[in-house]
Structure 1
């Protein structure tokens, strides 16, 4: 029992959970359980409000509640972490974060360029240009924690880069994956944001107020055409860092919420989105431009982009190289950034929402393959480097 408790508390456990639920989803989708699995994910669930002069109902499938609702909480956590790190943490000093900033930029531009070069002739396929730009922090850190002898500075680099990577993904979703806008719903969103600003300005630290307004903001954003998950980031921005008496507020919320995100929300998301039907999959789909763009973008583009932009920034003295590390170890960390997984699956769902079967799920399979290949290659490479340095 003690060994199990220690394993669960280990930083690699969230990565293990993601792998487990991904495999479970694949088993369910490719076995006699496929009908049950599909029916379960497409179970319609709704919330209705009826009153005098007010009648509103929101009905969505379970998978949509997961992708629009639970992931909003994940984005809320990202927002809390980003704000705290900028205000109080390791991101408050620009000199200490310039390297992960340049690395994150390179790690988004290069995969997008590779995808675009392969798919530029197909307008529908080009909707997925952002799919290979994201890094899955839980999975990547989980792999890194399995290795010994990795300098702390490299772990901090990966964590910082992932934060900027997530911020970039959020901006991309807001700018490029927004539907037709509803003026009335946008007005309600702006009203909610104004109320959140007022709460923050008055330094009110009653979590209930933020939850109520945040929930209204989520519904309004869901109806507005802007992706509802962004409401989580917006709400997080207005959470005060401290209470009036100086006690921690946002950090405490993050610490209480993060276990739910890494142990429940992300595994549930993986289970709901990673179920690729392999039974009728044609090899031609795997070799299609979209699949190749995603695979090469994640596995090749991420590592090359992160390394080259980081290397150039160091040589131009715009950034400093991590302490107690060497370039061989650093490149292994760059390979790890090719683990797209949850964020890539999420963007994939947004990009091809009009026709989720357009590529016979080969796009999802390409994400899974690129993520697992990146994880395995990075692990073996870093382990080999560590042995050579021993």
Structure 2
């Protein structure tokens, strides 16, 4: 049993396996939703779970517990990685930040511009401008690794670094543009929770249970405030101390402890819950609507063009340099893979349009189609044209 758990823990550190697991649960969701089990699948996601204490009530479908709760833990881990990189990693050197930051910026601006141009004049459809700006790192990294050993390790680091800024960009977009009515009382409670974690950090207190309670209060208050709850994850990560007073790597210990749950529970469950597109409900007349075309072109074309263009300009103007032992052809191959939006794009789609079937699922289909095209085209290009 211990050997089995050890093997699972080892697999949770394998980025390629994480991507394969996501592919499996994506296909499983599509299969289940388009079979006689679709009723059970939908009932599973619609299952109401909640708590009620006097006037306080938190009652949500299981789908929203996944998208608001479990994904906040994922963003918490992203925040831990970001803090570690800035304090102890490559991002201590400002020059190492410029290339992935520029790439991430291009990967947000160009897809958003393409979507906006396709949907210009329609205020409602324009709400989805951020859908093609996200990259699903686990998928992209898995395909990059499977492309072959001739791909230099520095490009994997580049993709991971780009992904950090891409995820931070997604969090900021969600917080700024997809926030509903704001609650002053909830903001006050959130501020108190943040202040408490600041004091804990300054006093170098490293009791996990104390941080858990503070983060839980923060999550609930952010959720009730009108700002998306995923922001609570990244804020909590900022206040986690790097080390205990005895010198033990406290932040690293938490991050390592969560990797298993992220790889085997949170991301697969998120993919399974969000990828179940009922193909029979798709309105063929809407396949070439502005929303579906904007999403497809934004992800498949806009991401690769934006990431590569901004990376090339940073290198051309000597603000940065190519990742070690790589060339522009290989860099472009990685840029193609950033068009795999998948889980994060589905997530933002749900925030933008709220009612998932408003476009008869052609928006979800466009995300899946663009992601699969980016993955397949990127793999073929990297495998056969960059040696």
C-alpha separation between the residues in 1 aligned to 2:177 and 2:219? Answer: 19
Q: How does 1:51-130 map to 2 (within 5 A)?
A: 54-130=54-130
Structure 1 residue 315, shift from structure 2 partner: 0.9
| 2:31 corresponds to 1:31 | no
C-alpha separation between the residues in 1 aligned to 2:77 and 2:141? Answer: 17
* Aligned match of 2:216: 215
* Aligned match of 1:311: 312
Cα displacement string for residues 134-186 of structure 1 (whole angstroms, at most 9, x for unaligned residues):
11111111111112211111111111001110011111111101110011111
| 2:369 corresponds to 1:365 | no
* Aligned match of 1:227: 228
**Contact (CA 8 Å) 1:106, 1:309: kept in 2 or not?**
yes
**Contact (CA 8 Å) 1:130, 1:347: kept in 2 or not?**
yes
C-alpha separation between the residues in 1 aligned to 2:103 and 2:127? Answer: 24
**Contact (CA 8 Å) 1:138, 1:262: kept in 2 or not?**
no
Structure 1 residue 9, shift from structure 2 partner: 6.2
**Contact (CA 8 Å) 1:306, 1:334: kept in 2 or not?**
yes
C-alpha separation between the residues in 1 aligned to 2:251 and 2:209? Answer: 13
* Aligned match of 1:206: 207
Structure 1 residue 11, shift from structure 2 partner: 2.8
C-alpha separation between the residues in 1 aligned to 2:178 and 2:13? Answer: 36
| 2:19 corresponds to 1:15 | yes
* Aligned match of 2:49: 45
**Contact (CA 8 Å) 2:270, 2:343: kept in 1 or not?**
yes
Normalising by structure 2, report the TM-score.
0.95
C-alpha separation between the residues in 2 aligned to 1:46 and 1:298? Answer: 36
**Contact (CA 8 Å) 2:13, 2:259: kept in 1 or not?**
no
* Aligned match of 1:133: 133
User: Aligned to 2:49, what secondary structure does the other structure show?
Assistant: strand
User: Aligned to 2:205, what secondary structure does the other structure show?
Assistant: coil
Structure 1 residue 97, shift from structure 2 partner: 2.1
* Aligned match of 1:381: 381
* Aligned match of 1:251: 252
Change (3 A) 1:238 1:10: closer
* Aligned match of 2:324: 323
C-alpha separation between the residues in 1 aligned to 2:299 and 2:38? Answer: 29
**Contact (CA 8 Å) 2:12, 2:259: kept in 1 or not?**
no
Structure 1 residue 280, shift from structure 2 partner: 3.0
Cα displacement string for residues 198-250 of structure 1 (whole angstroms, at most 9, x for unaligned residues):
11111111111100011011111111101111111111110001111111011
C-alpha separation between the residues in 2 aligned to 1:378 and 1:314? Answer: 22
User: Aligned to 1:144, what secondary structure does the other structure show?
Assistant: helix
User: Aligned to 2:385, what secondary structure does the other structure show?
Assistant: helix
C-alpha separation between the residues in 1 aligned to 2:254 and 2:11? Answer: 24
* Aligned match of 2:300: 299
| 2:191 corresponds to 1:190 | yes
Structure 1 residue 8, shift from structure 2 partner: 7.1
User: Aligned to 1:339, what secondary structure does the other structure show?
Assistant: coil
C-alpha separation between the residues in 1 aligned to 2:127 and 2:90? Answer: 35
Normalising by structure 1, report the TM-score.
0.95
Kindly tell me the number of residue pairs found equivalent between the two proteins: 381
Structure 1 residue 127, shift from structure 2 partner: 0.6
Change (3 A) 1:279 1:384: same
C-alpha separation between the residues in 2 aligned to 1:9 and 1:170? Answer: 24
Structure 1 residue 361, shift from structure 2 partner: 1.2
User: Aligned to 1:48, what secondary structure does the other structure show?
Assistant: strand
Structure 1 residue 282, shift from structure 2 partner: 2.5
Query: Structure 2, unaligned stretches of length 5 or more?
Result: none
Out of 168-177 and 6-15, give the one that drifted further.
6-15
C-alpha separation between the residues in 2 aligned to 1:280 and 1:96? Answer: 47
Structure 1 residue 90, shift from structure 2 partner: 1.6
C-alpha separation between the residues in 2 aligned to 1:314 and 1:297? Answer: 24
User: Aligned to 1:91, what secondary structure does the other structure show?
Assistant: helix
Structure 1 residue 91, shift from structure 2 partner: 1.5
User: Aligned to 1:243, what secondary structure does the other structure show?
Assistant: coil
